[in-house]
Structure 1
Amino acid sequence: MFKKGSRIPAGSVEFFDTVVHPGDAIQERGEKISHNVEEIHVPPILLVDEHEKLTKAESRSRLGVPDDVIVWYLQLGAGQINDIESEVRITVECILESDSSCYIVIGESLLGQRIDFQHERVRLLRDYPNSIYLNGIDYSVQAGGYNSFHEMRVSRTPTIFFPNMKTGMDDQNARCKVAVDEGWGVVVETRTRKNILLSIAEVQSINPGDDIIPDKITDMGWVESLL
């Protein structure tokens, strides 16, 4: 979803034969750009189909975590875990404080520097796409970007969202609030230690049903029409 007032360079659309509009959890707002290029509106674009995901046992075996524990997946995309004031570090500490027996999987960016952090209950995951592991995850902490939101939504993973409130075009806060309305997410706009601890307790009370997410968002049949 574009924020109100965002801009696309004039004349840039005409360089393409077809414009594909990926679906989002929220309705597109603002003025429509006038052009003569073919448009196709499709469901949210996902990186992995359900049949491509690892089973819970396969996922946990690869991640090196036991089958009988709670596993959190953390991917915020910003902040250094070695910085004691960073959101990543504070979130890890809060999760372990709330449940010292759980495990945390931190998703690393393939483009960024490797994370240098050691803890017996923390695993670092540098792979792509990480969504193949979601059957082995109980809870998640994510930013509010398009891909991570929709992967969590389809997998029905109870998730704490830390939306980026300063993005130029992407209204992450509005998107993340859909997860709250659908009953599978918690949004933390002000990331203090107290608020993060409260959100951890809240998300663990969620038991999302299989019927809360529209089935049509997983339909990828439109891809064949472009080939």
Structure 2
Amino acid sequence: MRTGPPTVVLATTNGKGMGHLSRQLALALASLGGMDPVIFSLSSAVTVVNQYGMRAEWAPGSQRKQVPRRHWDAYLAERITTLITETNASAFVFDGVYPYDGVLRALRRMPDVPFIWSRRAMWQKGVGARALRYRRLFAAVLEPGDLASAGDVGRTVYLQDARRVGPITLVGQVPQLSREQAIEQLELDPDRPRLLLTLGSSKRSDLYSAYQRTVEQFTAAGWQVVVTSSPLRGRAASAAGPKQISVFPLVRYLKAFDAAVSASGYNAVHELLYSAVPTLLVPNADAVTDDQRTRARIVGNSGLALAADPDRPREFDAVLARLLDARVRDRLSASCRDLDPPTGATEAARTVIGLAAVGVPSGERMEAASLHAQRFARRTIGRVLPPAIANQLGRPPRLARPGDLRGPLPVSPVLAPGLQGVPHITRDQLLVTDALTPGLFDGRFVEHLLPGASDDYVRARAEIAGRYYRLGAPSSVETESVEAIRTKSDERDWSTLGWPAG
């Protein structure tokens, strides 16, 4: 019999930023011990949960090509169901725009576990029809609130399927440092006003031009400009340019800044405005689903922030000049301080804990079964129809034939539980570890296991790996860097638990 709070798996997509992971972390922290959270993420940034003492497991996204794309959803479904079984989870929460087929397969295989879709609103007009088709498969849909919801023109605004909560943000969940502490820890100049510049990563020339003009104007005015990342991939800031920082969660340090110029993504907007930082919002048109233009416009019209399109240089320069005006910054901060505190994370946590306690009503299981049958029919038709007709039905033809699920190239497993660093391995090696070290998942094949997992789980994961990888002969001598940074935190020999080893 279960004792203590229910275990809930909080899953995130990979995405391009920290948004999905931040919202799930906020939900976990807001539960105040009412749940035992386990983070399951496709993002290599999942290592940030270490600082909160939470259990976490990473899985490779489809774009990494670690598992053949045509079999990736089957692999993901096995990873999810095996993790739920290992943790005896009472609920599974997926935060993402599109519920992967692998998530839906896992949902079908575990009918007694409530699967919950945390689905942010403010979608661009006309997008997302295919994703929303599967909303009724979930036991519940959570919709985080948005300060710009009055201008929402996306498909979700017309639906009545979601349990709407307030904005979900780390503000209020993570203690913020005082102004002096934040300045000291970020090693900033205490004698100058400081601008936070965070336009994200984009190849658009207008965004980089906006970045340059912001740096020039604020530097000329005597400000220290601090950037969280380069707005143009592959272009690094020079030593003489703005100071670069890499911290998480950023909300912890926001009191260090006197103003911000930021992309108008969900997390950035709500963290900055609920922290009362005077902000200029710059929409990034590269966002596929998120309607950043509308969010920037609505919030700008409400008096909570300034807004300007980067593709209108004169307008952008004029708004930058307004942000440099102390009177304007004071008005923006005052308006933000009048906002009611964000309650979405607490409301969402209560909803998830409640669903974990009651399970899935039988009516919802029947509805899910019906929709799965419809979905299977569409996929079957898509296999036999010509591509043009199948695409019109919303389901591209499946070209793969049943058979070997494994990739074409063999990989040699390197068993390394308890790593305390980032090892060097070659592309024909598969690192098998339970470590959560920053940088571990960058540029290498990794099978990551939940820290402290049972022997049965280690065996089950070895069986899954055997189905999706061509596990070649193990390395006769492990990479020296792997051996050098291994600890004795796990004395088990994983080679006796189904994993091949030399």
Tell me by how many angstroms 1:114 deviates. 8.6
CA distance, structure 1, for counterparts of residue 269 and residue 140 of structure 2:
25
Residues 106 and 40 from structure 1, CA distance in 2 versus in 1: closer, same or farther, beyond 3 angstroms? Answer: same
Give the counterpart letter for 1:75 in structure 2.
Answer: T
Counterpart pick for 1:40 among 142, 163, 166: 163
**1:74-132 Cα deviation digits (max 9, x unpaired):** 0101347xxxx6432332122212x1x211110128xx779342126x22111222121
Q: Report the equivalent of 2:299.
A: 179
Q: Which amino acid in 2 is paired with 1:165?
A: A
State the match for 1:141 in structure 2: 261
- State the match for 2:196 in structure 1: 73
CA RMSD of aligned residues (A): 2.9
Amino acid at match of 2:238: F
Tell whether 2:142 aligns with 1:17.
Answer: no
**Residue 274 (structure 2) aligns with:** 154
| 1:93–1:50 CA distance, 2 compared to 1 (3 A) | farther
In 1: Cα distance, 2:188 partner to 2:342 partner? 31
How many residues of Structure 1 are paired with residues of Structure 2 in the alignment? 217
Measured at CA, do residues 211 and 159 of structure 1 come closer, stay the same or move farther in structure 2, by a change above 3 Å?
closer
Match in the other structure for 1:106: 227
> What is the identity, as a one-letter code, of the residue corresponding to 1:19?
V
The one-letter amino acid of 1:182's match is: S
Tell me, what secondary structure is at the counterpart of 1:58?
helix
User: Bigger CA drift: 21-30 or 215-224?
Assistant: 215-224
Q: Please say if 1:119 is aligned against 2:243.
A: no
CA change 1:197–1:148 in 2 (3 A) is same
How far apart, CA to CA, are the structure 2 residues paired with 1:189 and 1:65? 29
Q: Distance in 2 between matches of 1:30 and 1:197?
A: 30
Give, in angstroms, the shift of residue 148 of structure 1. 0.6
Q: Is the 8 A contact 2:169 2:344 kept in 1?
A: no
SS at match of 1:221: helix
Which residue of the other structure, out of 148, 163, 169, is the alignment partner of 2:283?
Answer: 163
CA distance in structure 1 between the aligned counterparts of 2:279 and 2:336, rounded to whole angstroms: 17
Residue of 332, 350, 353 corresponding to 1:224: 350
Q: Distance in 2 between matches of 1:153 and 1:224?
A: 25
The structure with the greater share of residues assigned to helix is: 2
| Identical-pair percentage | 24
Which of 199, 204, 215 is the equivalent residue of 1:92?
Answer: 215
The answer on 1:7 being equivalent to 2:128 is yes
| Cα distance change on mapping 1:119 and 1:79 into 2, 3 Å | farther
Deviation at 1:30, TM superposition (A): 5.0
Find the residue that maps to 1:206 and give its secondary structure.
Answer: helix
Inter-CA distance 89–219: structure 2 relative to 1 (3 Å threshold)? same
Alpha carbons of structure 1 residues 224 and 114: separation in structure 2 relative to 1, 3 Å: farther
Task: List runs of 5+ in structure 2 lacking aligned partners.
Answer: 1-121, 354-502
Give the direction of change, closer, same or farther, for the CA distance of 1:4–1:51 in structure 2 (3 Å limit): closer
Q: Measure, in 2, the Cα distance between the counterparts of 1:191 and 1:93.
A: 17
Residue 163 (structure 1) shift: 0.8
- Does residue 1:60 correspond to 2:183, yes or no? yes
- Measure how far apart 1:51 and its partner are: 5.6
Residue 119 of structure 1 aligns to which amino acid in structure 2? A
Cα distance, 1:185 vs structure 2: 1.8
Instruction: Give 1:57 deviation, angstroms.
Output: 0.7
**Cα shift readout 1:134-190 (whole Å, capped 9, x = no counterpart):** 111110001111111111110111111111235333221221123323324221114
2:384 is aligned to none
SS at match of 2:342: helix
The structure whose Rg is larger is: 2
In structure 1, how many angstroms separate the alpha carbons of the residues matched to 2:199 and 2:163? 31
CA distance in 1, matches of 2:136, 2:238: 47
Match of 1:209 among 313, 322, 334: 334
Q: Is this contact kept in 2: 1:2–1:170, CA < 8 A?
A: yes
**Quick one: higher RCO (CA 8 Å, sep 6+), 1 or 2?**
1
- The answer to whether the Cα contact below 8 Å between 2:274 and 2:341 also exists between their aligned partners in 1 is no
Shift of the alpha carbon at 1:54?
1.2
2:293 partner amino acid: N
Query: Which residue identity lines up with residue 125 of structure 1 in the other structure?
Result: I
